[in-house]
Amino acid sequence: MKTNDIMARLRAKYPGESEYLQAVQEVLESIEEVYNQHPEFEKAKIVERMVEPDRIFSFRVTWVDDKGEVQTNTGYRVQFNSAIGPYKGGLRFHRAVTPSMLKFLGFEQTFKNALTTLPMGGAKGGSDFDPKGKTDEEIMRFCQAFMWELWQCIGPDQDVPAGDVGVGGREIGYLYGMYKKLARQYNTGVLTGKGATWGGSILRPEATGFGALYFTQDLLHHAGKDIKGCKVALSGFGNVAWGASTKALELGAKVVAISGPDGVCEIPDGITPEMIDYMLVMRASNRDRVEDMATRFPGKARFTPGKKAWSVPCDIALPCAFQNELSEDDAKELKANGCWCCCEVSNMGCQPGAIHFFQHNGILFAPGKAVNAGGVATSGLEMTQNAEHISWSGKEVDEKLHFIMDNIHAQCVKFGTQPDGSVDYVKGANIAGFMKVAQAMLEQGIV
């Protein structure tokens, strides 16, 4: 297998699918050497099969807004790979959603889910629906119309969607309500991220952020460092940023910046629990503005329009928002301001130039598919609870989540340790995830 040849073919076949091509290239570069030591992979054309989604559903979603006007969006579900379990992955509602974006996310999800050690294949879905400025009623009608098309593609042992950007507990509720009506079954295992009183797992909302901080702690310990007293800059103010801030505070770190599409809020004395709670209000408002934090907490949070979180001096950077949100220039600015660690919490949050810069300038870096896997891992735990018709306590879920994150860190160390003793977490995560999926595909024959 030669990465360059495969990439040339994919570029010709899928021109313009930049996010998808970027994600594939990163994985292929990481695994090429190991892959070529396995002639049985080459014979079964594992890579050629793995980079193509199993199937993509695309559908029209028509709904009526509050003014009575008819609106049409496009919905998708990319079922990427089912070698190690039923399709599993979130739904993203965002104006910029394209098939390329969902293909990259489904591809990443396949390896991430393998890292969790739970039996889940990879998928992603969503719509170019823009939640910004929408009312609660509009969100509900859109979710209902979306599920009307999606419901026959999913099922507890077939494909289990969850949340992602623009899809949280509220949206999962509306989606589930409509699913139940159409399927005429109380099939809780069909979606994860449900409310705690109707089949949801305790701690699923916190899990991505908590897991990311457990992983960060492991990475720091491995490097002989401690998170206590560290200054953390993070992007976003949604579900992931909320969970990450909560755990960062609990572990004794200080969150000095959060950000949004409108700019950055600098918080010199560190974020408080009250401010963390307010993130939930900001998310539910659909205003998509981080400036609201500074308006609500004048004197504590200082808003600067047009700036990113990466302009604020910190020890640890945690991208928690969107793909490619941290550029090479941002990486250089972070370093110049004293940052020495970046754990990617968003999927593919760092541009390739930024990762290259971190890795060649002594900055500890770990990729999203390892760092953020606690979210989908806890979705897997939700599926188990649903299948058994039971509900675990927060303590039980947290212990399992922590164990899974420690295990993912250990897999990265196992497959990513370099001759000089340092750990290449990108390589480690990609090889560990790839080997598991590849082996399963091999054992299941040419399908």
Min dist CB 363 to ligand 2IT, Å, is 24
Q: Does 430 participate in binding ligand 2IT (rule CB under 6 A)?
A: no
Q: Supply φ then ψ for residue 56, to 5 degrees.
A: -130, 125
67 a catalytic residue: no
Closest by Cα among 433, 319, 443, 424 to 27: 433
- From 66-74, 83-91, 263-271, 424-432, give the range in contact with ligand 2IT by CB under 6 A: 83-91
Position among 50, 84, 115, 162 found at the interface with ligand 2IT (CB under 6 A): 162
**Quick one: 150 or 294, whose CB is closer to ligand 2IT?**
150
Q: How many residues bind ligand 2IT (CB under 6 A)?
A: 13
Min dist CB 62 to ligand 2IT, Å, is 26
Min dist CB 162 to ligand 2IT, Å, is 3
Position among 264, 321, 376, 437 found at the interface with ligand 2IT (CB under 6 A): 376
How far is the C-alpha of 235 from the C-alpha of 310, rounded, in Å? 8
Cβ-based burial of 301 (10 A; exposed 0-12, middle 13-18, buried ≥19): buried
Bridge partners, 60 (sequence order): 74
**Quick one: 88 or 94, whose CB is closer to ligand 2IT?**
88
What's the gap between Cα 433 and its chain centre? 15
Dihedral Cα 435, 441, 443, 447, nearest 10 deg? -170
Position among 127, 188, 201, 347 found at the interface with ligand 2IT (CB under 6 A): 347
Q: Does 19 participate in binding ligand 2IT (rule CB under 6 A)?
A: no
Bridge partners, 231 (sequence order): 254
- From 20-28, 86-94, 179-187, 302-310, give the range in contact with ligand 2IT by CB under 6 A: 86-94
Sequence-separated (6 or more) residues with CB below 8 Å from residue 123: 77, 78, 79, 80, 87, 88, 89, 106, 109, 159, 161
* Count of other CB atoms within 10 angstroms of residue 13: 9
Q: Does 379 participate in binding ligand 2IT (rule CB under 6 A)?
A: yes
Q: Does 238 participate in binding ligand 2IT (rule CB under 6 A)?
A: no
Q: Does 110 participate in binding ligand 2IT (rule CB under 6 A)?
A: no
Sequence-separated (6 or more) residues with CB below 8 Å from residue 44: 441, 442, 446
Which of 124, 134, 194, 436 is an active site residue?
A: 124
Position among 53, 61, 83, 88 found at the interface with ligand 2IT (CB under 6 A): 88
Instruction: Give the contact letters, 261-300, x = binds to ligand 2IT (CB under 6 A), - = no.
Output: ----------------------------------------
Cβ-based burial of 397 (10 A; exposed 0-12, middle 13-18, buried ≥19): buried
Q: Supply φ then ψ for residue 83, to 5 degrees.
A: -65, -35
Q: Which residues bind ligand 2IT (CB under 6 A)?
A: 88-90, 109, 112, 162, 164, 192, 347, 372, 375-376, 379
